[in-house]
Amino acid sequence: METILNLPIENKIFYAVLVFSWTVYLWEAYLAYRQRRIYRLTLQVPQELGKIMDTDTFEKSRLYQLDKSNFSFWSGLYSETEGTLILLFGGIPFVWKVAGTVTARFGLGPEYEIFQSLSFLILATLFSAFTGLPWSIYNTFVIEEKHGFNQQTLGFFLKDAVKKFIVTQCILLPVTSLLLYIIKIGGDFFFIYAWLFTLGVSLVLVTIYADYIAPLFDKFTPLPEGELKEEIESMSKSISFPLTKVYVVEGSKRSSHSNAYFYGFFKNKRIVLFDTLLEDYSPLNKDGEPETDTLTEDKSKLKVRLTQLRRELGHFHVDAEMSSIQFSPLPLSLQMNSFLCFFLFAVLIGQKELFMAFGFYNSQPTLIGLMIIFQFIFSPYNEVLSFCLTVLSRRFEFQADSFARGMGRASELCSALIKLNKDNLGFPVADWLFSMWHYSHPPLLERLRALGSTKQD
């Protein structure tokens, strides 16, 4: 103990970061073990769901979630081990030195720190992409394929990965260079300018994502005229939701999972539906056999789609009541957190010991400072914040469910939740501690109980 107390401050910081990282990993592993135990031992459909979930579906969802949990354990162990080895063997200063060698080949010395930072980012993201690729391939072509969700070919997958990397670099590099420049010239109040810049970037990206970025990967088409579109427009008007367009995204070329969401600011909001939500397309029925569930009747299908949207619009309704400018409380809290983090970064960036702890003895690059402080020093705070946001998100989900119930749609919402849970092979039983820590959306049983009904519509 005395030996540890006598260590230089930079060594204490380094070992504290390692110990905390492994503490979080072991905590997460313990929670995952509790949930895997649920998957292994819960072999019968819970009594409450006996009339709405058949044994075959229950078993498929159990095996799917068990496979995902086992995969998550091994990928998490690899990731934690890789991160530890990078820190122990000086991987970060090594890559920074290589980046300096690359920029020097173009006649740019150490004074061109921003260019060296961009070179460092490219090398680091390349390394991350290559080390993560085998895990992503296994997840897509073994686990998702085994359980009937994957719709991609290997060629499409690799092409998509390359495209994502290029688009990411096209956004990441200019944004990072401008942020570093602002920090360099911002003076004592640079943290305010940096925060405003990142806020502006996030607003721009949210605005242009669905119109200019997402179409690079998926096909978006306007929802055709018909009963569904008329019902969506009528429903939007009933709660003063400023709907401008309804799109259908071709998600079925990647996966048979289904979803729906809305985006946009102020009076320009749009709804996006996955084509797998519109079509009766799921791993449970894609062999062409009709389901016995009454949801396969045309009007019941329409109700399921609309009820999912009612929930999403419920988020808008709750947010609008809480904020006159119609910004969601979660993004607002994240921006407040972002400002706090930039302020603390301004306080800590001058501490040489932070850089020395990670192998930077002769220089203090701004990008490395951002990485050290935001990723490592703030990690305890980030864990607490993540848990608080999970709790808050669950509360909003219950509020959205309550809104749909208030519209007299409780039974339809129950049917929609059950249908989506079945189509995505969600497991309805969760360990209470795992659920509390991880689930931003409450488990199916909790939501049905909150709605006051577990009976099928």
For residue 226, report the phi and psi dihedrals to the nearest 5 degrees: 160, -175
DSSP code of residue 440: S
Name the β-bridge partners of 247: 222, 272
Q: Describe the strand order of the beta sheet including 243-249 as a list of residue ranges.
A: 220-222, 243-249, 268-274, 260-265
Q: Does the annotation list 315 as a binding residue?
A: yes
List pLDDT tens digits, range 18-50. Answer: 999 999 999 999 999 999 999 999 999 888 777
DSSP code of residue 224: P
Sign of the alpha-carbon dihedral angle for 59, 64, 65, 70: positive
List pLDDT tens digits, range 338-374. Answer: 999 999 999 999 999 999 999 999 999 999 999 999 9
Which pLDDT band, with edges at 50, 70 and 90, does 180 fall under? very high
Which of the two residues, 94 and 399, has the higher pLDDT score? 94
Residue 118 structure tokens: 């961009």
Residue 292 has pLDDT above 50, yes or no: no
List pLDDT tens digits, range 212-255. Answer: 888 888 888 888 888 778 888 887 787 777 787 888 888 778 77
C-alpha distance across the termini of the chain, in Å: 64
For residue 268, report the phi and psi dihedrals to the nearest 5 degrees: -130, 70
Which pLDDT band, with edges at 50, 70 and 90, does 298 fall under? very low
- Is residue 195 within 8 Å of residue 339, measured between CB atoms? yes
- Is residue 265 within 8 Å of residue 207, measured between CB atoms? yes
Residue 351, pLDDT score:
93
Q: Does the annotation list 48 as a binding residue?
A: no
Residue 322 has pLDDT above 90, yes or no: no
Residue 307, pLDDT score:
58
Residue 296 has pLDDT above 50, yes or no: no
Residue 319 has pLDDT above 70, yes or no: no
100-108 own/partner pairs: CB under 8 Å, 24+ apart: none
Question: Residues near 56 by Cβ (< 8 Å), separated by ≥ 6?
Answer: none
Residue 191 structure tokens: 């943290």
- Is residue 358 within 8 Å of residue 93, measured between CB atoms? yes
Which one-letter amino acid corresponds to residue 290? P
- Side-chain-side CA neighbours of residue 122 (13 Å): 18
Which pLDDT band, with edges at 50, 70 and 90, does 155 fall under? very high
Which of the two residues, 310 and 202, has the higher pLDDT score? 202
- Is residue 186 within 8 Å of residue 194, measured between CB atoms? yes
Mean pLDDT of the chain: 83
Work out the average pLDDT over 372-384: 94
Residue 197 structure tokens: 């810049």
Q: Residues with catalytic annotation?
A: 312, 401
Torsion of CA 419, 420, 426, 430, to 10 degrees: -80
* Three-class DSSP category at 98: helix
Closest CA to 451 of 407, 414, 399: 414
DSSP code of residue 255: B
